[in-house]
Structure 1
């Protein structure tokens, strides 16, 4: 039923800030393969074409405002971005007739809502994370309060809300006071073909660890809610008990300097490396050379890093929290869990996995089968079912 959709997102490759860009790209490309005409409205830099076709997806870009330094300035930046997206989107809607508008997160919510109202078509909103969750409920002062208020308005303004896990459905329904029936759960997908290594893995491994050493990988944005401080706290005892251990931290963020200082205080400098931000190709290689990936998040809507690690043949240990519980189910079948925020328990689980080849091998084999259920074809099929259900119920949306 759905023939043409407008997807609005603040990031789309080659502009990648995080997992949202990858999600928007894979969903869009799969919808195209399923016969849907997909237009993406997003931002671009000085090198970007105003309009281009990428793997069948027609991408329309507006020049991004000068990127801000602080969070207060970022909120103002988002307002300007929405104004620019709205102008470009209205011109696009005058040119083409869309069946619906699908927006991703609060960053483009205002532009997407006004575009949907302007053409009287349904609005679908995907909530990838919430400010409430990222800040453990501390959203009472600006700019967190501004973002939280926008997110609340966004989920009530949408005709349908999509989240990536059952945990997120309950979370969104609770903090925004919206009925769970209005929230569809569609997990993120993964494409193992995107995770193929490139280059000399033996040489890469030798850069960071000797053959007799174990290599522990931490990946993600360096922010408080990702819990890297918990993982660093766990490592000294593991090194004392296991020895011959190295760690890698791959990512950037506001907690970068604080985490580096913590590593120094804990005497970990000679045992690991902070790599900063790295591209996808480099990250996929790291999964292949690591003995273990740890995902210690305090708040995690889904857990894509764990999924990528498992698909790459790297066993993982995750915090028993949020969407990670759905990516790594109970029973020590595909990965191990630890009590979220508990560095001592994490250390015990790391030591257990690194000292048991039988456990490691069993997890790797079973995880490879487990990840097959997170398929982008299924994600797109479920998303299109949401689209078609809206078009059946509300063929012409009232402004």
Structure 2
């Protein structure tokens, strides 16, 4: 069902996800891509349980329902979406259907934003990173999730799978038996205007005053919601080893289940007075502008948004190679990378290094911004549309490519 609009053939696209908004990872991906597709003249439909921040955008929304499942938490969301998303999209005709979570329905494109079995394997390995073969296959979490993972990525259920990083591609091949030729690696992106070095001039003083931070404090920043998976307890242990009197730590994010434990840990480590737990924020870009370095010792990640956001903001990044960073970053050039985020001594060493070495700090700030600019959401949208056209042309050979131009 391809329509002639403007200078070329444009598509009717369905994107399926639980939520579409600025917050979160999967949510932000659909938010950024759907807007850009619509601005190009494509007819974009988003099937979601909820959506925010989309006022004025030419995107049509369809609500995905569900039934209450008290006490199941995230499992309730996964199970509801698995069944109800497929039922919601039935009866509609699209040139391209693209799903971002698990569903029993068949789609043209499925994006793998992460592998729950991979995270389960990390936790069963004492919180330490593990490989994509023996370690994962021995994990109870993998055995529990394997039927759902295999079902979602069976070859006959999709035409292509988007992996956010090479590590996710490896997991799809090794754990889900997804044919390698079906997988396309397209990393996440960043908005280089929203996350810009000028935010330092605009927001630094106000944010620091709000949280009683001095102008000469060296402020480390952590941004994330799932505190354990993203390594906040390990960061607190590392920060306790950074004895610089002006060092401070800002924690932006929400994790109601683990916050009391993290607060208690900060007390026991003697760093509560130097650590500010901000909570969730709708203006994360302002916090990048207020900090001096970003630290993200995540234990498991497909392709985190926050390192790119920090880099685009001109903030030096210290993170693990497990954040999808090995595809994007070069250690010592545009970021400082460490292999084992559970080694608090190593993380602390990197933190002290960036605090004391002003020339390295400047180099990472400048080079990080340059790298981030190559991963704009416009570039991600272009690559995704190219994949859509490849699939649509195979289904209907008469379809010509859509017009090119700025988003």
User: Which bin holds the TM-score, normalised by the shorter protein?
Assistant: 0.7 to 0.9
Which whole-Å CA distance do the structure 2 matches of 1:243 and 1:141 have between them? 43
Q: Corresponding residue for 1:186? A: 186
Which whole-Å CA distance do the structure 1 matches of 2:34 and 2:265 have between them? 41
- Cα deviation 1:341-387 (Å, max 9, x = unaligned): 21111111110110121111121112221111102222122112222
Q: Corresponding residue for 1:251? A: 253
What is the CA RMSD across the aligned residues, in angstroms? 2.7
- Cα deviation 1:270-308 (Å, max 9, x = unaligned): 1111122222x2x11110010111010111211311110
Aligned length: 368
Q: Corresponding residue for 1:276? A: 279
Q: How does 1:215-254 map to 2 (within 5 A)?
A: 215-239=219-243, 242-253=244-255, 254=257
Match of 1:13 among 21, 26, 42: 21
Quick one: structure 1 residues 11 and 348, their matched pair in 2 at CA, closer, same or farther if it must change by over 3 Å? same
Scaled by the length of structure 1, the TM-score of the pair is 0.84
- Cα deviation 1:214-269 (Å, max 9, x = unaligned): 11111112342211122111112212xx2221111111223322222221111111
Q: Corresponding residue for 2:90? A: 90
Q: Corresponding residue for 1:43? A: 49
Q: Corresponding residue for 2:288? A: 287
Which whole-Å CA distance do the structure 2 matches of 1:204 and 1:223 have between them? 22
Which whole-Å CA distance do the structure 1 matches of 2:174 and 2:353 have between them? 37
Which whole-Å CA distance do the structure 2 matches of 1:308 and 1:67 have between them? 35
Deviation at 1:79, TM superposition (A): 3.0
Deviation at 1:186, TM superposition (A): 0.8
Q: Corresponding residue for 1:29? A: 35
Which whole-Å CA distance do the structure 2 matches of 1:142 and 1:370 have between them? 38
Q: How does 1:338-353 map to 2 (within 5 A)?
A: 338-340=338-340, 341-353=342-354
- Cα deviation 1:49-88 (Å, max 9, x = unaligned): xxx97522212224565585x4x35424433344443443
Q: Which has the higher helix share?
A: 1
Deviation at 1:2, TM superposition (A): 5.4
Does structure 2 conserve the Cα–Cα contact (< 8 Å) formed by 1:6 and 1:100?
yes
Q: How does 1:35-184 map to 2 (within 5 A)?
A: 35-44=41-50, 54-63=56-65, 65-66=67-68, 68=70, 70=71, 72-91=72-91, 93=92, 97-106=93-102, 109-110=103-104, 112-113=105-106, 116=107, 123-136=108-121, 147-156=145-154, 157-184=157-184
Any idea what SS the aligned residue of 1:161 has? strand
Q: After the TM superposition, which segments of 4 or more aligned residues of structure 1 sit over 4 Å from their partners?
A: 63-68, 137-148, 196-200
Does structure 2 conserve the Cα–Cα contact (< 8 Å) formed by 1:288 and 1:312?
yes
Deviation at 1:192, TM superposition (A): 1.6
Q: Corresponding residue for 2:388? A: 387
Which whole-Å CA distance do the structure 1 matches of 2:345 and 2:139 have between them? 34
Any idea what SS the aligned residue of 2:368 has? helix
Structure 1: which 5+ runs fail to align? 117-122
Which whole-Å CA distance do the structure 1 matches of 2:369 and 2:362 have between them? 11
Quick one: structure 1 residues 158 and 37, their matched pair in 2 at CA, closer, same or farther if it must change by over 3 Å? same
Deviation at 1:143, TM superposition (A): 8.2
Deviation at 1:33, TM superposition (A): 2.7
Match of 1:209 among 203, 207, 213: 213
Structure 2: which 5+ runs fail to align? 1-8, 125-135, 398-407
- Cα deviation 1:172-205 (Å, max 9, x = unaligned): 2111122221110011111122236597531321
Which whole-Å CA distance do the structure 2 matches of 1:389 and 1:299 have between them? 32
Instruction: Tell me whether 387-396 or 1-10 shows the greater mean CA deviation.
Output: 387-396
Q: Corresponding residue for 1:120? A: none
Which whole-Å CA distance do the structure 2 matches of 1:177 and 1:190 have between them? 31
Quick one: structure 1 residues 372 and 76, their matched pair in 2 at CA, closer, same or farther if it must change by over 3 Å? closer
